[in-house]
Structure formats: C-alpha cells, structure tokens
Amino acid sequence: MSIGTIKRRISELPSSPGVYIMRGKEGEVLYVGKARDLKKRVSSYIGGKDKRYQVRALLSHTTEIERIVTHSEKEAVLLEYNLIQKYKPRYNISYRDDKSYTKIRLTMQHPFPAIYITRKTPPDGSLYFGPYVSAEGARKTVEMIRKLFGIRNCSDRIFSHRTRPCIQYEIKRCHAPCTGLIGREEYKRYVDDAILFLNGNANGLLKNLEEEMGRLSKEMRYEEAARRRDTIRWIKETLSPQAVSHTKRDNRDYIGVWKHEAGISVAILESRGGLLIGCKRFDVRPGASPAESLLEEFLISYYLKTSGPMPDTIVLSKKTPFLTGLSEALREGNRSIKFLTSPRGIDRVRLEMAAENAREGARRALNIREAPAELAKVLGLKTRPRLIAASDISNIGGEHAVGAVVVFASGEPKKELYRRFLIKGVFQPDDYKMMEEVLERYLTSNGLPDLLIIDGGKGHLAVARRIVEKLGLDLGLAAIAKDGEGDKVYIPNRKDPVVFKRGSPAYLLLQRIRNEAHRFAISY
C-alpha cells in the first residue's frame, strides 16, 4: 500500500480505541493491531521512525486497512487477541503461543463451589468469568471475593478430608463448609452474591465501600481508608463489563443500526463461543422498498444466504413487528434463530459497540455519496459521475509494459470491469504513446465512464483529451499528479490545478481510485 493510500485510510479513521486489520491483495489478514487512538496509531506507520524490515514489508503487501471500534483500550486488547487466534497473521508475533488470559473459575458442579484463578476453560460445569487483562487484578479480585463472601479456595481432595476448620476460617476468608459450619443453602446465597459481583453488578457494594472509606478517613484511620480506596480501584478496573468475552458460550450476532438520509448503515458484531471475533458493515439503500422495512429485508437476505456457522441468537436494540416474519422466513430456510431485544449487561454493551461501528460505517458511506456532487462542481462536469475509470501505465525501462484501467461505481471498486492491456505498438519508454494506445483500446471496446482519471500531469491529460476527441466521445476528464506538497488535479481548458479542500470526500476518492489503478497495473 502506498503512503498516499495509508494517508487516505488514516483520514477515515476515528480517534477512538479499537483494532485495525491489515489485509493483502487476496483479502488475507496480514496483521492485527490494537490502539488507544486508531488514527494516531496507524499514522505512526508513515512517520518514518520505524525502519524495521518487517514494517516495510507489511506496508508493501497491505492493500486494505479495516477497523473495529471498541469502548475501551482493554476491550481492544482482548479483541486483538481473539482475532490473532482466529487468523494467525504472519506479521503478528505476540500471542502466537496461544497463551490464554486469566479467568476466574467457580466450580458450580460441586455442592460447595470453590473459586480459583485459571487459564483453561474446560466444559466441566464450572462458571468462568473474564478474561482479565491484568492477572494481578484477577488475583486481587479473587481475594476480595473470599474476603467479602467467604468462598473456599481449597481443592476438592482437601475439602473432603478436613475434620476441623483451617486458618482461612480463622481469618474470615472461608465459612468452613468442609466441617458443616454452614449449610448448603446459606452457602449458595454467598455464591450467588459473588456471581452478581463478578458479572459487574457491584454498584451497591462500591457505594458501601466508598461510604466506609469516607468514614475511616474522618476517623483519621488513613491506612484502612487507603486499603478501601485500593479495593474500589481494583473492582472498577477489573470488573468493568468486558464487551469482548461473554460468560455464555453460544454464538451471537449483535445488530447495530444507524439511520441516515440515504438509507441505513448496519454493523454485525459476531460472537462465536462467547468471544467477539469480528465486525461486518453494510450500507443498505432503500431502492423501491419502504424505509421501515429496510432492516427486515436486509436481515432476511443476509441470513438466508449465509452458508457458514449461524448464530444461536440475534441481539437487537428493541422488539419490532418484523421479527415474527423474520423468524418464519428463517425457519422455512431451516435456520432456527432466537431473538434477544432490549438486552442488559454484557449484551447491551456489545450492542452499543455494534451501533458505534454502524455509525462509523454511515459516516464513510455518506462521504462516498457526497463525493460525486463535489467532483461535478469542482471539475465542472455536467452531471454527477456515477461510473469513474482511472488509467495507469507500468513498465520496466520500456519493456514488459502494461496498461491498466480500474472502474469505481458509486464510490466502490467494480472489479469485474477492471481491464489490463499488454502494450503492443510501443517498443521504447514513451509514457504518452503507451497511454494513447491503452486509452484508445479501452474506450473503443468497453462501456464509457462518466469520468476518466489519468495518473499524470498536463501532458498525460492532453493525450487523453486528444483520444476522446478523436473518438467523438463525451465524458469528463481529469489528471492527478503527485507533488511534494500533495496531489494536484488538472482538467481541460484550465492552466492551474483545481482546488479541493484537503481531506474532502471527493479529493480522497480521486486519490483512492488513482492508487487502485497503480496497484492493479504493477501487480500484473
């Protein structure tokens, strides 16, 4: 990927926590990274400070940069881990050993459950909480659980052989169920409280701790107050809801929707086995359908066409009349899916994340839709260009010369319309004559674009204009040339380059199409 393309991608990124995914020309995942600020992190790749061979090689093979927005850096860390385990990218080093994050385990299969720290999650009937980015934080959380609720942490073997309470009972860390000092029902109430606490429903407890910290401070018992302060910090940092991992191990899709003037943007966050593994974005336009049925029609089409693993549950923000029809349509297609509306807890957090990613998708879609109007205005075109073609030449010292034409429709690549041409009539390095041959061959054998972009300056534009006039065609022309201060765009009958607002949708679209033509030409 060229530096110009990376700059364009950066302009589209939000300054939010999240994960970025670099893909190669076949769509393969080359690298997965996390960031507290996506725009700032990806910008660092063009700063020139990192001279490592791996970074240069990564950039040379990257053709697309995707992003998934998260609510926090912690969620970005966990999502990065999940994606690396799924794709095993060649340029990622960390996490390759498949080391799992720390989790908290409650052995619910035992009459008197115990609590442990673990990195493995076998399906043995236990409840697992996490994962936790900080192992130290998880250990302190378990200690706090034992202090607050008296949950045992001894092995089942030791539990079954004890005849008298151990030191943990003496220091009030355990209710000693091993010796019958507490009944099963009463112990279960403590376990239930611990589960609520581990699920993040700790507001009441935090309030009590804060009040106690204030009381101890007023009584000048500062050391004890400091311990309460640290406890509160551990709880807030460690037990905040994790949107990336779910205690339930089923498969769920979270449907985020963002309405805009031209339709809706949909983001589907995919959770498989309780782990968030990716996000798909779609721009849905109404066509002849009423606006209120857009989401219904999209979901029916999407899930009936999906050939891979289906979710057990689809999570949406609210119950709507179309859910009944959607359920029936999926059942007819032998695809039974449950629907969860007005979710709470972790499902609500994930749904909010999906909505945020839908909003990002809507912003990009609107930028693409705004570009044609701006292009028509700045380039002096008669109509908004829907079909835009771009041409570039690639050769090595005049030999092995190839011409390439790429086509974008409504701001997106139309790869079935891409064309390559082996240069047949030029045998020395002459860029103008090569372009003349390619354009004449292309324009006489393919559908006409509304706008033709040439990679080059005024001379290349003059060649393109001569060919268009020779063939008696009516289409828009523009040339985009690299310059030390940024790209310059030239149009016929104007001496100076036209002025685009730097970073505007139209300017970025021109750069994107020109860069795609260059990539397509040199990849022959």
Q: How is residue 53 written in tokens?
A: 């061979």
Which position has the token pair 């709507």? 320
Closest CA to 58 of 275, 50, 450: 50
With residue 512 as reference, give the H or E element that holds it: helix 505-522
Q: How is residue 347 written in tokens?
A: 């499902």
Query: Is residue 269 classed as helix, strand or coil in its secondary structure?
Result: strand
3-state secondary structure 173-241: CCCCHHHCCCCHHHHHHHHHHHHHHHCCCCHHHHHHHHHHHHHHHHCCCHHHHHHHHHHHHHHHHHCCC
3-state secondary structure 227-251: HHHHHHHHHHHHCCCCCCECCCCCC
Q: How is residue 156 written in tokens?
A: 């089942």
Query: Is residue 255 classed as helix, strand or coil in its secondary structure?
Result: strand
Determine the pLDDT at residue 288.
43
Q: d(Cα 112, Cα 108) in Å, to the nearest integer? A: 8
Length of the chain: 524
Q: What is the pLDDT along the chain (524 residues), one digit of tens a residue?
A: 556 666 777 777 888 888 999 888 888 888 888 888 888 888 887 766 556 666 777 888 888 888 888 887 777 777 887 788 788 888 775 433 334 567 889 999 999 999 999 888 788 889 888 666 567 767 878 888 888 788 999 999 999 999 899 999 998 889 999 999 999 998 987 888 788 777 655 566 677 678 878 888 888 888 878 877 876 776 666 555 555 555 566 788 999 988 876 678 889 888 877 777 778 888 777 544 445 567 877 787 777 666 556 788 899 988 776 677 667 666 655 667 788 888 887 888 889 889 888 888 887 776 777 788 889 999 999 888 989 999 998 876 556 788 899 999 878 888 889 999 888 877 777 788 888 999 999 998 888 899 999 998 899 999 999 999 999 998 999 999 887 667 889 999 888 888 887 667 888 888 889 888 888 888 76
Q: d(Cα 524, Cα 520) in Å, to the nearest integer? A: 7
Determine the pLDDT at residue 2.
59
Q: d(Cα 455, Cα 514) in Å, to the nearest integer? A: 6
Residues 6+ apart with CB under 8 A from 280: 267, 268, 270
Identity at 49, one-letter amino acid code: K
In CATH, what number does 3-87 get?
3.40.1440.10
DSSP 8-class letter at 413: E
Domain with CATH 3.30.420.340 in the chain: 252-365, 380-522
Query: Is residue 140 classed as helix, strand or coil in its secondary structure?
Result: helix
DSSP 8-class letter at 159: H
For residue 221, list its beta bridge partners: none
Kindly report whether the peptide bond that precedes residue 131 is cis, defined as omega within 30 degrees of 0: yes
Identity at 409, one-letter amino acid code: A
Determine the pLDDT at residue 205.
65
Q: d(Cα 174, Cα 113) in Å, to the nearest integer? A: 12
In CATH, what number does 252-365 get?
3.30.420.340
Q: d(Cα 411, Cα 369) in Å, to the nearest integer? A: 7
For residue 69, list its beta bridge partners: 18
3-state secondary structure 493-509: CCCCCECCCCCCHHHHH
Q: d(Cα 199, Cα 186) in Å, to the nearest integer? A: 20
Identity at 146, one-letter amino acid code: R
Q: How is residue 473 written in tokens?
A: 């065609």
End-to-end CA distance of the chain: 15
Q: How is residue 462 written in tokens?
A: 């003059």
With residue 307 as reference, give the H or E element that holds it: none
Q: d(Cα 194, Cα 273) in Å, to the nearest integer? A: 24
For residue 94, list its beta bridge partners: none
Q: How is residue 379 written in tokens?
A: 């380039």
Domain with CATH 3.40.1440.10 in the chain: 3-87
With residue 394 as reference, give the H or E element that holds it: strand 387-396
Determine the pLDDT at residue 98.
38
Q: How far is CA 209 from CA 144, 224, 230, 346, in A?
A: 12, 11, 10, 24
Query: Is residue 43 classed as helix, strand or coil in its secondary structure?
Result: helix
Query: Is residue 492 classed as helix, strand or coil in its secondary structure?
Result: coil
Contact yes or no for 477/464 (Cβ under 8 A): yes
DSSP 8-class letter at 91: T
CATH architecture of 380-522: 2-Layer Sandwich (3.30)
Q: d(Cα 388, Cα 511) in Å, to the nearest integer? A: 12
Determine the pLDDT at residue 191.
87
- 100-123 pLDDT tens trace: 567 889 999 999 999 999 888 788
Q: How is residue 321 written in tokens?
A: 């009349």
Q: How far is CA 339 from CA 99, 336, 402, in A?
A: 34, 10, 53
Torsion angle in degrees (nearest 10) through CA of 217, 221, 224, 228 = -10
58-73 core/surface letters (b: 16 or more CB in 10 A; e: else)? bbebbbebebbbbbbe
Give the number of other Cβ atoms within 10 Å of residue 134's Cβ.
15
- Please spell the DSSP secondary structure of 342-370, one letter per residue: S--HHHHHHHHHHHHHHHHHHHHHHHHHH
Contact yes or no for 502/7 (Cβ under 8 A): no
Which position has the token pair 């899709």? 253
